[in-house]
Structures are given as structure tokens and as C-alpha cells.
Chain A
């Protein structure tokens, strides 16, 4: 009874938001689970070791998902109770863990074993766009490597497209902030994880070597597909 009453109140407060849209929220909560890797852990060697891939996927990504689900559950509960201060308090955990889930899900698709086309330069429209925005693929790589090496602490370096302006951008984000935090129209084509956990067991303190080698297993086919979808 109490719940019912409170949802009615909420409805009147939310400018006539119809009740059917509130139902899925109160009935069940969607949780997330770890996506499979589209290749074996060892398939990116020698660029990225199997040990790194396994820990990165099974431990790090899984932990983001676990904590994201936990935060969503608490959020759900807080919203139902109308507990605004808890709703606000949960934002940082949602951004961090939800961002970790979003970013890693893209990252796995950004990589491919060499025998499956990893490292093969982009063709067609993305290839032309890179040439016209950055001069060449090499200068894009150089620029992303420089930004990735200069990033303090943990974060990501991105190649994205602004879907309104149809323009390619290079951006960095701290921690697990997804690219969209840099602008609502930005769509990630390629994200490189420069957290130490992404390379430390193999490259130790030499982040530039990791950045140099990761291009050998970049899946440009995936980036091209996203680009074409956004810019067609």
C-alpha cells in the first residue's frame, strides 16, 4: 500500500509521466553480465599477453559489472523510497562502474587477433576521414600515443566521431569516464585503455611500448562499421 501511494504521488509530480512507464522500474531491474570475448585470451599475443587479457576480462571487467549492478539495485531502491540524497550519492559509483562496463565492452571489440584482421588499416570512408582529418593513419596513431602517454594516472584515449558535425576527434577521459562525458554527440570508434592494469604485467612502467604495440591488434573493421552507421 505504501509503495502504491508513493508511486501515485510521484506520477503527479513528474508532469503526467504515464504510469505504464513506471511499471518496468518497479517490477524488475535489468542487471548486466560479463560479455564473452570474441577471441581467446591468448589470441592477441605477443602484443597483449593472455594473462593480462584474462585478468582484465575476468577480474577487472567483472568487478565493474558487479559493482554497477549493486549500485543500480541501490538506486532502484532509493528511487522507490523517494530517497533523493541516496540517489545523488550513488552517482559517482554509477559513473565509475557503469563507465568501466561501457568502456571495456567497447575495448574488447576494438581488438582482434592478427589472423582475423587485427592491425589492418581502415579502408573506405573511415580511412578517408582519417586521412583528411589527421593527414594519415600514422599521424593519428602518433597523436593518440602521445596523448595516451601523457595522461596522468588512469584513463582512456579515444578516437570518436561527433555524429552531429560528422567530425573525427581525439579525446582522453580520466578513470572510467566514458567518451560521452566529453560531449553528448561523441560516439566512440576506438578506445585504448591506459590504466596500468591493461599493460603492467607485460610492459611494466613503459606505457609507450604498450601503446606502440597495441596498434598491431586494433580492429579497424569494427571502428569503420560504427563510423559508417553514424555518418551514413
Chain B
């Protein structure tokens, strides 16, 4: 019982200046960004999230994805999400937070708040453009390929599973390849015996604006399966669009870079947790002044482990 109570307490913390409560245990990733964002925010008066352009010209993905599709998809849909997000957060507690933080705060453990859709769709589209490149497709190599083969059996099996996730997402949504570090498959659970094998690649699909950040997975690759992503080029043939995406558009370079970041973040978190546990054992308080704003819970790790 004691452990349960203490775990619940440790799930939230307060950023005093913003009056926001964020989950820490599940999202330690918000820490470094928060410091940076708050500094930046003090110099900026209005909250503005910018519409980032795709890292290639709008006709660069032809003939697989038309210029017209990108003109609407990026120029209208993505733009509208960003503009509406800016209108929504101005003057609210969310102003000045990074996009990732807004997504996690407004996901609100599944009880979605109004800004979630725009924030998540802004992030999802940024990432979707990066997930493609002119002359993409083919096969990855190195660590990435090893992990794919380890976790899906073979590259071909992975392709099949990814395509199937994208094809079977009912209605609007996304399919993802993500890196899942030390997490149990049960929400809100803490892994009592973390091991190297827990860290793996997973394929997930998500409805509407939802993305794997809300489950604390690290996204490596995404495909948009809202109809607006493919309707002008493929009409009702979602499966053809998905095949062309995998064969001609995927940027394995991006996936590689993301995988490195995912691993680095997982390692950083482990070191941090290890450090905190050690300090706990030595009976030292962990709140040094620098980090004060970031976490107020110290006793969670012990109580969970026992």
C-alpha cells in the first residue's frame, strides 16, 4: 500500500512558475528541454510555433508524392494546425512550452485537452516530412538493421508488419516505428527488473493526432494515413500509397539518426536513475538548486523497488 501511494505522488510534479503539473516518472525527457525553453521564453513575448518547411522542395518527391499533395498537406493542413495551436496557447499556461511538452501535458493521460490535436498534429507533420526523402526507400544497414532483424525476425517481416499497421488503422491516424526503452506493456507500470532486452523496436498505430510520445516511446519513423495524405495521388488505394512510401520515400537516414538519439536518451535516463538511487542510498537529498524546478520527488525509486 505504501508503495502505491508513494508512486502516485511521484507521478506528478509542479513547475512553480507555470503552475503546471507534469508527470515526471514517465516523462523524464521533459527536463532538459524545460530549462532551455524557460530561458528562451523570457525573451519572447508571444508564443509562436513555426511552420517548418519540409527538408526538400515540394516537387522533390514526385512522381511518388505529388507537388499538389504537398502544397495542400504542408501548405494548408500542417499550416492550419500550427496557426490554430498558436491561437490556442497564447496567454495560457502552455505558452512557451516546447511542442513535445504541450503534447504530453494536453494528452492529460488520455483525457485529451483542446490544444492536444493541434500540437500533436504540428509535431507529427514535422516528423512525417523528415521521415521521407527524394530517392528514399531501400534497406537500412548497421545497428538499425540488426535491431530490426532481432525484433521482427527479418527486414521483410518488418515491412509486412509496418504496412499492415498502416493499412488497418481504422479511419484517420498514423503508423509508427518507435524505440521502446525499459517499459512494461502496462500503462503506469514501473519495470521492476529492467534489462537490455526490454529495449526494443515496436510498430504501433495511433488514431487521429495521437503519437507514441504520449506513451513515452521514441518515434523513429512515421507514415500519415489520414486520407488527405494520399487521396489526391492514390484516391481510395491506401495500400498502394503505403507500398510506395516504403519502397520509394522512407528516409532510413532519419530513422538511423533517430535511433542513435533514442539510445542516447535511454542511456542518459538510466544514468540519471542510477545516480538518484545511489544518492538515495547515501541518504543525500537529490534536490540541488540547479534542478530544483525539475523534480520534487525523491523517494519514488526506492519505494517502487521494494
Contact = CB atoms under 8 A, between A and B. Distances in A.
Contacts of A205: 72, 76-77, 80, 228
A200 B234 CA distance: 12
Interface in A112-145: none
A63 B208 contact: no
Contacts of A174: 171
Most buried by B among A155, A175, A205: A205
Interface residues of B, number: 19
B235 interface: yes
Contact of B236 (A96, A152, A155, A197): A197
Interface residues of A, number: 20
A30 interface: no
Nearest to B78: A205
A152 B209 contact: yes
Nearest to B71: A204
B232 interface: yes
Nearest to B80: A205
Contact of B72 (A195, A197, A204): A204
Contact of A153 (B80, B172, B231, B232): B172
A154 interface: yes
B207 interface: yes
B227 interface: yes
B170 interface: yes
B235 A153 contact: no
B230 to A, nearest CB: 10
Contact of A196 (B80, B170, B227): B227
Interface in A23-39: none
Contacts of A176: 170-171
Contacts, number: 54
A60 to B, nearest CB: 6
Contacts of B226: 153, 196
A153 B208 contact: yes
A63 B171 contact: no
A14 interface: no
B251 interface: no
B207 A60 contact: no
Given A153-B171, A175-B171, A176-B171, A55 B236 contact: yes
A198 to B, nearest CB: 9
Contacts of A153: 171-173, 207-209, 226
Contact of A96 (B117, B170, B208, B228): B170
Q: Closest 7 interchain pairs by CB?
A: A153-B172, A175-B171, A196-B227, A154-B171, A153-B208, A205-B76, A59-B236
Interface of A: 55, 59-60, 63, 92, 96, 152-155, 174-176, 195-197, 200-201, 204-205
Interface of B: 72, 76-77, 80, 117, 170-173, 207-209, 226-228, 231-232, 235-236
Given A176-B170, A205-B228, 4 more contacts: A153-B172, A174-B171, A196-B231, A197-B235
